[in-house]
Every structure is written in C-alpha cells, then in structure tokens.
Amino acid sequence: MTLQARSVDRVLPDGFVARLATVLDPAGLITDPSDRASYLIEERSLFESRAEVVVAPKTAEELAATVRLCAEAGVPLVPQGGATGLVGGAVAGTGDVLVSLKRMNRILDVDPVNFTISAEAGCVLADLQEAAREAGCLFPLSLGAEGSCTIGGNIASNAGGVGVLRYGNTRELTLGLEVVLPDGRIWNGMRPLYKDNSGYSLKNLFIGSEGTLGIVTAAVMKLFPQPQQRETAFCALGSVEDALALLSLARRLSGDGVSAFELMSDFSLDIVCKHTEGRRPYDTQAPWHALIELTTSRPGDDLRRCFESILEAAFEQGLVLDGVVAESEDQAGRLWQLREATPEAQKRAGGSIKHDVSVPVSRIPEFIATASAAVMERMPGVHVCAFGHVGDGNVHYNLTQPDDMDKAAFLARWGEMNAIVHEVVRTIGGSISAEHGVGLLKLQELADFRSDVENDLMRSLKRALDPDNRMNAGKLVAI
Ligand code: FAD
C-alpha cells in the first residue's frame, strides 16, 4: 500500500496555471509530465506523489508572489528540497502546487571572522560544506544524503547526522532564517547573531516544522575551525554498557574531542561483510563494535598519542576486547565504510523493519535489552540489526527477517513490531522520531505518542501561522 498526500483527489482551479505564469519565469513553472516526473520520485515507493504543477522560483520574491496567488485561490502548497526525506513529507497530490527550492541554490556569504555562512535554501548540503572548506572553515552537518539534500530540507527536518555529539543538530547550527509565510509575506530573520534575546525565537518555530508553517528561502548557519587532525578507530566490545563507558572515557581524556561515536551490533557488521566489500578489521569475535573518531583544530596536539592513551586505559579497564587505529586516511575511510554500508547491507540481507528512535544515552543498554527480548519473544529468530549515532542516543533499531520467514510475511508485521519497540521507547522517556521526521509516515503514531497538551500546542501553533491549513497540510500535525 502507498500513502498519498491529503489533496490527492482535488484539482487546481480553472485558469490558475495561467495566473502562476504571471509571477514566475518560464523555467520556474513546470507542467509537462516528463519534466515534472523527477520531482515525484519517491525512492522507497512507500508514498505516491501526483502533483500536476511544480514551481521552481528563482527568488524569495517570486516565491512570495506564488504563495499569495495560492492563498487567494485556496490552493495548498508542498515545499520540496532534494526529496531525500524518507517519511513522505515532500509528496504532493493533484490539488497541490509542489514548490521546488532547487533553483534557489546560491551561497550568499561566507564570513570566516564571524564563523558564519549564508545560503539560499536550495543549496545542496555538500556544496555548503565545500564553500566552508574553501574559506578554511568547517560546516559540520554531515549525513548519508549530503550529495542531494538541501540546507532548507535539513532545516525543515532538523537533520542530525554523524556530528551531533560534537556540534549539535541543525537547530543548534542555525543562526538566522528567511521564510515565506503561508499568507505570502516574507519574514527576514537573516541575523548572523550568536546572541539575540529579543523575545520568542521565531527561527526555532520553523526548524523541524517540515514545511508546515512556512517555506524557508535562506539561512545563516554557524561555522567552526577546520579540524587539523583526525584519528579513527574501530573497537570490539563486550556489551553496550562497555560502549557507553568507552564513550565517556574518550570524551573525558580527549578534552571532548570525540566527533563521532557509532555503535554496530555484530549482526550489522556481519551482514556488511557478507553483502558488501567490507572486511572485519580484526579476528576477535564480539557482540558489539564501535567506530570512534577524534578530531582537533589545534595544530600542535598529538591526537594519535591521545587516542592511544584512551585505548590503553580502556583495555586496562576491560572495556575494549580488540581494536585498530587507522594508519592512513584510506584505512579510516574503509572503517567508516563498514558503518555507512549498513543500510545497503540490510537491504541485501532481506526484509527490514525500521525504527528511528532516540533515548537518553545512559538508558541505551536498557532500551536495547528490553526491546530485543520483547521482539524475539513475539517473533523468534528475528535478527536485531542495531546501529547508529549512539553518542547522541539515536539508535537505528532495525529488525532483519528471520532466516526461515518469507519477506512479505515479515514486512506484513511492520506495525505490530513497531508498536512493541515504540512502547519500550515510551516507557523510558525516548522519542519515536529521532532524525527522519514525521511527514505522512508517522502522523497518527506521533499524535498518539504525544501528550494531549503537546498535541494541543502543536495544533495552536499551526492554526496561528497557517489558519487555512494550506502549507504542507496533513503532514506532521493534523488539524
Ligand atoms: P526533502 O526530502 O525535499 O523534504 C523534507 C521535508 O522538509 C518535507 O516535509 C518538505 O516539505 C520540507 N522542506 C524541504 N525544503 C523545505 C524548505 N525550503 N522550507 C520548508 N520546508 C521544506 N537525517 C538525519 O538527521 N541524520 C542522518 O544521519 C540521516 N541520514 C540519512 C541518510 C540517507 C541516505 C538519507 C536518504 C536520509 C538521511 N537522513 C538523515 C534524513 C535527512 O535528514 C533528510 O533526508 C534531509 O534533511 C531532507 O533534505 P531534503 O532537501 O532532501 O528535503
């Protein structure tokens, strides 16, 4: 079954496309079916997008004029960046105007003294990283989709990625925004300020709002000094508790220099080695493994020595069973590949039921143990493929089909297994949407998960900013 946008059966008013043509340049109005097909692709085929009109404005003013026309005609809008989101947030129905930010992709300013970069919302994340690098700075947001996702989409879904432990998620990296509001006004909040105590934090309303309150057109983001040294290690561990103790030790002994700490279950490493080109970095068998990266921006630091002393202390305390520290960038890349190939390996290993959850870091062992006991009791033989950015509490707690079960029969039990895992998350105070967002996929589930007060506040905010419910309606929050 595919999920569809709310306005799937509606049609646009007569003459509306002609009115759009008065405010957009010809390249910004896409109605030809073959030209708009690429905007409707959804990789996992979980959602169906059927927009008959795609607009791709070149400026915030053009977008604002488009939004005003939509407001006058009561036409809903769906913003879209790189369309890499996995929860159906950017899919549109026949009655929607799909707004692509792809043509608004300029870097506006890089300020290496203020440590800020400003860019239009359609700028691809990798291009933003590159512009920062050219100025001798680091833009630390980094995730698997960085070659195609946009900074506007990252802001709308408050993306995290591998650097959250050290630098925070997109919310922490955002200083200022420009947004086209549902009535077509432009809010210019492009302030490159680290301190701004002037009342409500308006930018924070739009960060993580998945395009339901307005369309982000530009942003000012924080930069950091480029790391001067980077060291990467892969370690065999006896338990998740040991992984957390190692993380804590590494943070303390490195002066908080841990820039990534990724946990992998042995099953995850096993399928990576079976189904991709990955090779185990050591012969020691262990139930858990961790990839650790330390960085420093101080040129004189002996990071290698620091890493070795952390591992020596960890061996002495019995936290680490075996480990390798990469001898070259190539080797570091191969260690990272073990972690990054996990989603692909999972696809090749059979059906997967996924959970994008987070819990307090200190409760990860309890979460994994309790959830694993519960799912195995309900489905004997199921494989727990847990991995992820454990340094920030975000575990990709995925399940791979039992060896003797048919894939379709396994996937038919997605909801049942989700309910079991999410109940464990609820009891230990976690979140069932840690980084991929809510979109269409988790709309109802999240409403059931949140308290009445939270649901009420969410709906009040939506009604206040978008009283006609036209901005990405039916996603994230239903009113
Ligand atoms: P889209 O997919 O186009 O849109 C996403 C949502 O944002 C939609 O609701 C859309 O309506 C809205 N939107 C888009 N642009 C705007 C705008 N300018 N203004 C308002 N609303 C807008 N996430 C993590 O946090 N951590 C990870 O480690 C991570 N890894 C990933 C790895 C892969 C391989 C993939 C495919 C995704 C991963 N993600 C991860 C999810 C990722 O954060 C999102 O896919 C990405 O941020 C969305 O950006 P996009 O430009 O593709 O937005």
Q: How many CB atoms lie within 10 A of CB 72?
A: 12
Provide the pLDDT for residue 43: 74
Q: Please indicate, yes or no, if residue 472 is contained in any of the structural domains.
A: no
**Tens of pLDDT, residues 56-75:** 999 999 999 999 999 999 99
* 154 Cβ closer than 6 Å to some ligand 1 atom: yes
Last residue of a domain, one of 297, 328, 343: 343
Q: Which residues does 281 contact at the CB level (< 8 Å), separation at least 6?
A: 234, 324, 335, 338
Tokens of 198: 């002037």
* 51 Cβ closer than 6 Å to some ligand 1 atom: no
Antiparallel, parallel or unpaired: β 174-180 and 215-222: antiparallel
Last residue of a domain, one of 100, 126, 158: 100
- Integer Cα distance of 180 and 213 in angstroms: 9
* 443 Cβ closer than 6 Å to some ligand 1 atom: no
Look-up of token digits 């646009």: 12
Q: Supply the CATH number for residue 59's domain.
A: 3.30.43.10
Q: Are 357 and 369 within one domain? A: yes
Q: Please indicate, yes or no, if residue 431 is contained in any of the structural domains.
A: yes
**How many structural domains is the chain composed of?**
4
Cα 299 to ligand 1 centre (Å): 34
* 116 Cβ closer than 6 Å to some ligand 1 atom: no
* 163 Cβ closer than 6 Å to some ligand 1 atom: no
Q: Please indicate, yes or no, if residue 158 is contained in any of the structural domains.
A: yes
Q: Which residues does 186 contact at the CB level (< 8 Å), separation at least 6?
A: 60, 61, 64, 178, 179, 180, 217
**DSSP string for residues in 247-309:** HHHHHHHTTS-EEEEEEEEHHHHHHHHHHSS---SSS---SEEEEEEEEE--TT--HHHHHHH
- Integer Cα distance of 391 and 162 in angstroms: 9
**Start-end of H helices in 291-413:** 303-316, 329-340, 342-348, 364-378, 407-411
**Tens of pLDDT, residues 110-169:** 999 999 999 999 999 999 999 999 999 999 999 989 999 999 999 999 999 888 989 999
* φ and ψ at residue 106, rounded to 5 degrees: -85, 145
Structural domain boundaries, residue 112: 107-225
* φ and ψ at residue 474, rounded to 5 degrees: 80, 5
Q: Please indicate, yes or no, if residue 478 is contained in any of the structural domains.
A: no
Cα 403 to ligand 1 centre (Å): 33
**DSSP string for residues in 17-75:** HHHHTTTS-GGGEE-SHHHHGGGG--TTSSEE---SEEE--SSHHHHHHHHHHHHHHT-
What residues of the chain score a pLDDT lower than 70? 1-9
Answer yes or no: are the C-beta atoms of 276 and 345 closer than 8 Å. Answer: yes
Q: Are 136 and 70 within one domain? A: no
The SS3 assignment for 463 reads helix
* 215 Cβ closer than 6 Å to some ligand 1 atom: yes
Q: Please indicate, yes or no, if residue 458 is contained in any of the structural domains.
A: no
